[in-house]
Chain A
Amino acid sequence: MTKALPDDSELVARLLKKDSAAFNDVVTAWYSPMYYVASSIAGDAIADEVVQEAWFSVLRALPKFEGRSSLKSWVMRIVTNEAKTRRRKESRSTSLEQIEDGWATDPRFTANEHWNTPTGYWSGDSPDALMQAEELQNCIEKNIQKLPDNQRSVLMMRESGAYSLDDICNILNVTSSNVRVLLHRARDKVLQVIDRFEREGTC
């Protein structure tokens, strides 16, 4: 686990004083959500580059940080913007607003909306317990990569714990109801992947 960071005003003061140890801690602590958000928007190949460029922008803008949002949200917004710019440059054109619909024909439910095949019982009741199976980690990774980009962006932002649903709407320019639908679809998909693994032991 990473160590707890000091509060924002303390942290900003240390960074402005060029405290390398404090900077290293922040860069480490926030790396994974930054990486996954970047990767969901701009693609895996350049995600690390996006994170790097985002930190360069953060360093340039830090003296002007006003504390209207948390430092973490502010940094995440910068990564997201950087990733969106790169996405345009790399001309990926999937719309974030796009929603595909497979909901009406969900085979888990009967025609009168009762469970047809309910979810099974899982071997663990904490992430640690579940993730002891290394195949499951790989399986989750593989299936998160396969999610539509828009679902993946929303899922990564939300589960990083750094964004409120409002933040996500604003950053991705998606309506609030679409964010909720995208998030639900993504979580439901990952849930089904875990469920299948727990029942059948296969990905």
Chain B
Amino acid sequence: MLGLPSCKQVVKQSSDLLDGELTAFERFKLKIHLFMCKHCRNYVKQMRLTSETVNHWMKGRKMPAEVRQRILDEFENGVCHNAKKDEH
């Protein structure tokens, strides 16, 4: 045998597959396993979707208005504020 990974090892390597962190040989062996195993194919697909979903979820957070205001104020008046601070 080529020493193909077990299902558990495929799961363990799935993140590295997603991030392009596997060697060519590891990737090759993993692909052969996936070709033969629909459970692992499903898992790897879900791992990719999970990663995209977390990204999507993160983008849903909106900035509180007062935080935005303070940052914009600093952008517009920052130099004056700093000068004032220096005087104390």
> Hey, which bits of chain A sit against chain B, CB under 8 A?
18, 20, 23-24, 27-28, 31-33, 35-36, 48, 51-52, 55-56, 59-60, 103, 106, 108-109, 112-115, 118-119, 121-122, 125-128, 130-131, 137, 140-141, 144, 155-156, 158-161, 165, 180, 183-184, 187-188, 190-191, 194-195
Contact = CB atoms under 8 A, between A and B. Distances in A.
Contact of B57 (A31, A137, A158, A161): A137
Interface string B9-36: 1011011100101000000000000000
Query: Taking each of B6, B49, B64, which has the highest tally of chain A beta carbons within 10 Å of its own beta carbon?
Result: B49
Contacts of A28: 63, 68
Main DSSP-derived SS at the A contact region? helix
Contact of B78 (A32, A59, A115, A126): A59
Given A27-B63, A130-B53, A131-B56, 9 more contacts: A33-B58, A51-B67, A119-B39, A119-B43, A122-B49, A130-B49, A156-B58, A183-B15, A187-B47
Given A31-B63, A125-B49, A165-B19, A113 B7 contact: yes
B32 to A, nearest CB: 16
Contact of A131 (B8, B40, B57, B82): B57
Contacts of B71: 27, 51-52, 55-56
A31 B61 contact: yes
Main DSSP-derived SS at the B contact region? helix
Interface in B45-69: 46-47, 49-64, 67-68
A167 to B, nearest CB: 12
B7 A109 contact: yes
Contacts of B61: 31-32, 35-36
A122 B42 CA distance: 10
A127 B7 contact: no
Contact of B51 (A113, A126, A128, A159): A159
Contact of B7 (A115, A140, A161): A115
Given A20-B75, A36-B61, A131 B12 contact: no
B87 interface: no
Contact of A24 (B11, B14, B16, B72): B72
Nearest to A19: B75
